[in-house]
Amino acid sequence: MQGVGQPSVLDGARIYAKLKSEVRAAGILSKSYSFYIPLILVAITGYLLSAWAIFALDSYPLLVLACLGFTFFTVQLAGVMHDSGHRAVFSSVRSNEILGAVCCGLIGMVFDNWRTRHNIHHAFPNQEGKDPDLEIPLIATSARLYARKSPLQRALMPYQAYYYFPLGALASFSNRLGSLSYFRHRRSRNDLSRFAIYLPAVVFLFVLPFALFSPAKALFVLSIVHITSGIYLANCFAPNHKGMAIISSNSTMSFIERQVMTSRNVRGGLLTDILLVGLNRQVEHHLFPNCPRNKLHLLRPYVMNACKALGLNYVEAGIIETNRDILRQLRGVPSVATLPALPAAAPAAAD
């Protein structure tokens, strides 16, 4: 469905209001406890059992399996945290906040810090100067972002397509240890309680292995767990927006247009839904972030009809194709960085 021109803000608002009315009437946004309760129990149980296996095992081949299991269930908990941050799990705001804090307490993140940044991303996806997810060290996805980097970073960026995936391996370290900066200048009572939730996970994930294991086993476990967690997380989040349109900071467009043109779905069935914690249905998620993950597929025909009415391109691609699009954009950015300013909604750079 190729767009035939930019729809007006009024048209976008009208079509989205109609879409929302249809979706609500179909009952798709109602909570799904029969899905989330077993998911939460399995994720927490798997997390604890794999942690115990890492502690109990000394065989390195078996340790690899235990570490990979721990990585898998950690990312599943991150997916539950994500859904609770969007209030997609429980009807009660308080219950969602408690669940998000518990998940963050297990995986080593600060729920309020992550939720604030993520909500800004949802409000301004792929918009320069507004979307925090575009501010990645050593990575630029548009000429404007490239121009704002330091001279050293710009010197490295002709090679960003080559180090992009290895850089993802560091995501686990930056997400967890980077949260320390959140507390640097914060002294409120609430921040103390957040720190009390965050600190035990950091000790558990980064300090305790050296107290319990030999140095060789501790380094082995930390390397496998954090590198695989970073790569896994990067492959859950990056295909959704990277390689898609970049919006200039002063662009004005309707909510539905902004969300659709910057998002991409990853094709696949139930296994893809599980592995990518529902983020493979990114178009629907961005339009209805409070929709339970297991119901996102039900939104697809409604969303496709709305896109057709507005002439918007509904993008779906396989996981290999999405990564090709990302690398194509990364290779193209340095070569166009000296060209005139990009239009308000620039398509992904092509070779």
**Model confidence pLDDT, tens digit, residues 333-349:** 876 554 444 344 444 44
Q: Would you state the pLDDT for residue 189?
A: 81
pTM above 0.85, yes or no: yes
Q: What is the pLDDT of residue 339?
A: 41
52-66, 178-192, 237-251: which range is least confident on average? 178-192
Question: Would you tell me the crossing angle of helices 93-107 and 189-202 to the nearest 10 degrees?
Answer: 40
pLDDT attached to residue 335: 63
Confidence of residue 133 (pLDDT cuts 50, 70, 90): very high
Nearest residue to 181 (alpha-carbon basis) of 191, 193, 171: 191
Token pair listed for 225: 């767990």
Rounded-to-integer distance, Cα 147 and Cα 315, Å: 28
* H or E stretch at 345: strand 345-346
Residue 226 CA, chain-centre distance (Å), reads: 17
The stretch 123-129 carries a mean pLDDT of: 94
How high is the pLDDT of residue 178?
80
Residue 318 tokens, joined: 């396989």
Q: What is the mean pLDDT of residues 74-81?
A: 97
With both helix axes pointing from N to C terminus, report the angle between 93-107 and 33-56 in degrees, rounded to the nearest 10.
20
The predicted model gives 108-125 an average pLDDT of 94
pLDDT exceeds 70 at position 350: no
Predicted confidence (pLDDT) at residue 272 exceeds the cutoff of 80: yes
Segment 98-115, tens digit of pLDDT: 999 999 999 999 999 999
Mean pLDDT of 260-287: 96
Provide the sign of the torsion angle of the four alpha carbons 265, 40, 294, 83, taken in this order. Answer: negative
Given a cut of 90, whether residue 86 has pLDDT beyond it is yes
Least confident residue range of 19-28, 76-85, 240-249, 298-307: 240-249
- Tokens at 296, concatenated: 């996102």
- Nearest Cα to Cα of residue 160 among 126, 177, 137, 182: 137
Confidence of residue 227 (pLDDT cuts 50, 70, 90): very high
pLDDT at 249: 86
pLDDT at res. 2: 37
Interatomic CA distance for residues 246 and 250, integer angstroms: 12
Asked whether residue 1 carries a pLDDT value surpassing 80, the answer given is: no
171: tokens are 């995501």
Q: Is the pLDDT of residue 151 over 80?
A: yes
The pLDDT confidence band at residue 170, using thresholds 50, 70 and 90, is: confident
At position 201, the amino acid (one-letter code) is A
Contact 142, 119 (CB under 8 A): no
d(CA 225, CA 43): 16
- Asked whether residue 351 carries a pLDDT value surpassing 60, the answer given is no
Q: Beta strands 345-346 and 265-266: pairing type?
A: unpaired
Provide the mean pLDDT of the chain.
90
For the segment 314-340, the average pLDDT, to the nearest whole number, is 81
Angle between helices 160-168 and 319-336 (to 10 degrees): 130
Whole-angstrom distance, CA of residue 115 vs CA of residue 192: 18
The pLDDT value recorded for residue 338 is: 43
Helices (H), 169-318: 171-177, 189-202, 208-212, 215-241, 255-261, 270-275, 282-287, 296-310
